[in-house]
Amino acid sequence: MKGMMRAVVIDAPGAAEVMQVRDVPIPEMRPTDVLIRVEACGVCFHDVVTRNGVMKRGIKMPVIPGHEVSGIVEAVGPQVRGFKAGDRVTTAQRRHICGYCMYCRSGRETSCEEREFLGDIGLNGGYAEYVAVSQDNVCSVPAGVPLDQAAICACAIGTELNAVRDVAHVQAGEKVLVTGAGGGLGIHGIQLARLSGGYVVAVTSSAEKAKIIAEHGAHEVLLVKRDEDFSDAVKAVTGGLGVDVAIDNVGSPTFSATRRSLAMGARWIFVGQVTGEFVKLNPAQLFMRDISIKSAKSTSRKQLQDSLELVARGQVKPVITGELPLSMAHQAHREVESGRSTGRILLKPAL
């Protein structure tokens, strides 16, 4: 499909103002691509660190950011099977995977060496009227699930499903710490940890978010200052033992406090990293307490499908707190970067 479209373009890293709305060509389709008319695109902290230069690996500018996409199929490539014009769809976070390597064949396509993260390379991302995505990274949206909610099922919900269910293997009765609890990842991690039977301890630095965090399933909500050591508070609500699992959506800023909050034999799952800072660690602080560190990277197709089903059945509620036009992408980034937003903000090209 030839023609022009409106999109948010970043030519070089910088502050929110580097994002400019302009007309660019509609992305060229590969034979296995599905061209999607974008209904909504979630604004993720990944987009922020891509824009401001903290994220460097795999970034090729100029770029249209955005990887949390839902919309209507506009056209399909000649090798596409299972999708047709008019279908309601959402995407995983990748534009392309090879489909045949050992990772793709074992449900670990998030590690495919050919993977192209959507919105990190070139003028093909979700902050636009159209986006082209390989059929292997597209899922049909179940009837009854609004496209707005479907947009954030891959990243905000699917990544936390990956962390809680498939990496941490949270068991009923276990105590689960969720950092960044009011953010787009954390607010859904709370719901999934609760759904798995966990006793959920949520940490937030926002008094405004505390109520909504509790409403979405946290058993304990700890309101702390930024950079404050919250480990004593965590132990106070866990009988002095600490938590069995930490779902860490923040990374470096909460590293020391999270480590001190862990019980003997705990699993520490890294999901997010909001700064470029490194951390110091004495390995004995881990192995003397039998603590394991793992990570949850992105979302597989199976995890995306499962997330959509959880939403369709009402077991997980997508939290969306704002809808803005493409021309206000800079405002969305400021809200996310500041930590003021709860859940996800959507960009909608039709607004």
Give the tens place of pLDDT for each residue, 196-208.
999 999 999 889 8
Do 163 and 35 lie in one domain? The reply is no
Do 323 and 279 lie in one domain? The reply is no
Look at residues 253, 280, 295 and tell me which one is the last residue of a structural domain: 295
* Res 240: pLDDT: 97
Look at residues 251, 280, 295 and tell me which one is the last residue of a structural domain: 295
Q: Scan for tokens 């058993």, then name that residue.
A: 219
Residue 313 lies in a domain: no
Do 26 and 143 lie in one domain? The reply is yes
* Res 273: pLDDT: 84
* Res 106: pLDDT: 93
Mean pLDDT for all residues in the chain? 96
What are the b/e assignments for 33-52, b being 16+ CB within 10 Å?
A: bbbbbbbbbbbbbbbbbbbb
Distance from the first to the final alpha carbon of the chain: 23
Residue 304 lies in a domain: no
Residue 310 lies in a domain: no
* Res 276: pLDDT: 79
Q: What is the DSSP letter of 63?
A: B
Do 264 and 327 lie in one domain? The reply is no
Distance CA 68, CA 90 (A): 8
Condensed to tens digits (0 to 9), the pLDDT of residues 43-84 reads 999 999 999 999 898 899 999 999 999 999 999 999 999 999
Do 49 and 139 lie in one domain? The reply is yes
Residue 311 lies in a domain: no
Condensed to tens digits (0 to 9), the pLDDT of residues 117-155 reads 999 999 999 999 999 999 999 999 999 999 999 999 999
Do 136 and 17 lie in one domain? The reply is yes
Do 198 and 291 lie in one domain? The reply is yes
Domain that holds residue 128: 4-152+318-347
Distance CA 242, CA 177 (A): 9
pLDDT of 226 higher than 90 = no
Do 110 and 193 lie in one domain? The reply is no
